[in-house]
Amino acid sequence: MKQKNVREYQRAECIVLRKTGASYRTIGTILGISRASVQRALERFEEIGSYQDRHRCGRPKKINGQNGHILKDLTQDSVSRSSACKAMMQLNESLEKSICRRTFINYLEECNFEYEVKIKKPCLNKKHKEARLQWCSEHLNWTVDDWKQVLFSHESTFYIIESSSGEFIRHIEDEKTKQCSMWVNGRGESLRVGFWGIITWKGTGCCAIYRENINSDVYCDILDNYLVPTIHINSMEHNFIFQHDNASFCRSKQTQAKLRELNARVLKWPIKSPDLNPIEHLFSIINSRLRTRKILSLKELIDNLSSEWSSIPSQLCENLVFSMPQRIQ
């Protein structure tokens, strides 16, 4: 609803009629304004002793308090949250004078709205949520000393060209389909590598970089050649707990037999819970650093992955492992 402005002469008439003993409603009926407007005019006269407009400094705002509530209601809609133009057009339907997109965004910032990328979350059903809650309840009383025994592992995939947005280029119509005007999508089988890493509270362990699709055979080789050396380097032969997720090759009979052969105590892990695994944070850091570099070959990708993994400070790994009680909370 648009708020009707009460002019100065109407305020003066309100004062005169009130002195004759007329009620707020009667005054509003005579002047064609609302009872609330009459009340505001009289309260204003008692406050400042004048019926004239206050002196304004600068241009009056196009969005008043009432329209501000409309603005907040609009941004509760998922479409309006992602599109400032659509929310602006809806708001302009309630305004006497329309506003531009930049003005709309300024008002959103005044209302403490931030424009950021959506946080990714796993697709969890009721069963997944119950399993996560049960796991956290079972490990709620674990202390930092308990988490010091855990070796956290995970695997990921890194690409030569990670960006999917492409890049802009100026060209004429005839050059549109030429090689120089095209953006090559790098997400191909020949332009990616698999990466497996492991960390303890003392720092990063060994890492494996592989080209083939990971299966039970590949995973057992990784356990032999990279898990075992990490255990020896950290002197944890007789007191360690191994963590990995619920991938099919992690749950296979061949992998279970290999872990029994290594006398490894395995930490039961809830399904779809990457947010609980501290090593995920390191993968995010490495991926961000690789995005800033121009990597054109698999050798460069492998070299950069190895150097980034080895350059991660031990203090960061300690902080991540020690954050497990807070993650569970």
Write the single-letter amino acid at 52.
Q
User: What pLDDT shows up at residue 45?
Assistant: 81
Report d(CA 221, CA 233) in Å as an integer.
18
3-state secondary structure of 198: strand
User: What pLDDT shows up at residue 101?
Assistant: 79
Q: What are the tokens at 4?
A: 């009707």
Contact 85, 101 (CB under 8 A): yes
Q: How far is CA 309 from CA 98, 135, 201, in A?
A: 54, 30, 15
Q: What are the tokens at 224?
A: 């032999």
Report d(CA 142, CA 144) in Å as an integer.
7
Predicted model pTM: 0.63
What are the structural domain ranges in the chain?
A: 8-48, 65-111, 128-328
Report d(CA 315, CA 325) in Å as an integer.
17
User: What pLDDT shows up at residue 136?
Assistant: 94
User: What pLDDT shows up at residue 132?
Assistant: 92
User: What pLDDT shows up at residue 192?
Assistant: 87
Level-2 CATH architecture, domain 128-328: 2-Layer Sandwich (3.30)
User: What pLDDT shows up at residue 16?
Assistant: 87
Query: How confident is the prediction along the chain (329 residues), in pLDDT tens digits per residue?
Result: 344 567 777 888 888 888 888 888 898 888 888 888 888 888 888 877 776 766 666 666 666 655 556 666 665 555 555 567 777 777 777 777 787 878 777 777 777 777 666 667 778 889 999 999 999 999 999 999 999 999 999 999 998 864 444 455 544 555 555 555 555 544 445 588 999 999 999 999 999 999 988 999 999 999 999 999 999 999 898 889 999 998 999 999 999 999 999 999 999 999 888 889 999 999 989 998 998 888 888 999 999 999 999 999 999 999 999 999 999 99
User: What pLDDT shows up at residue 308?
Assistant: 94
- Residue identified by tokens 């059903």 is 125
User: What pLDDT shows up at residue 180?
Assistant: 55
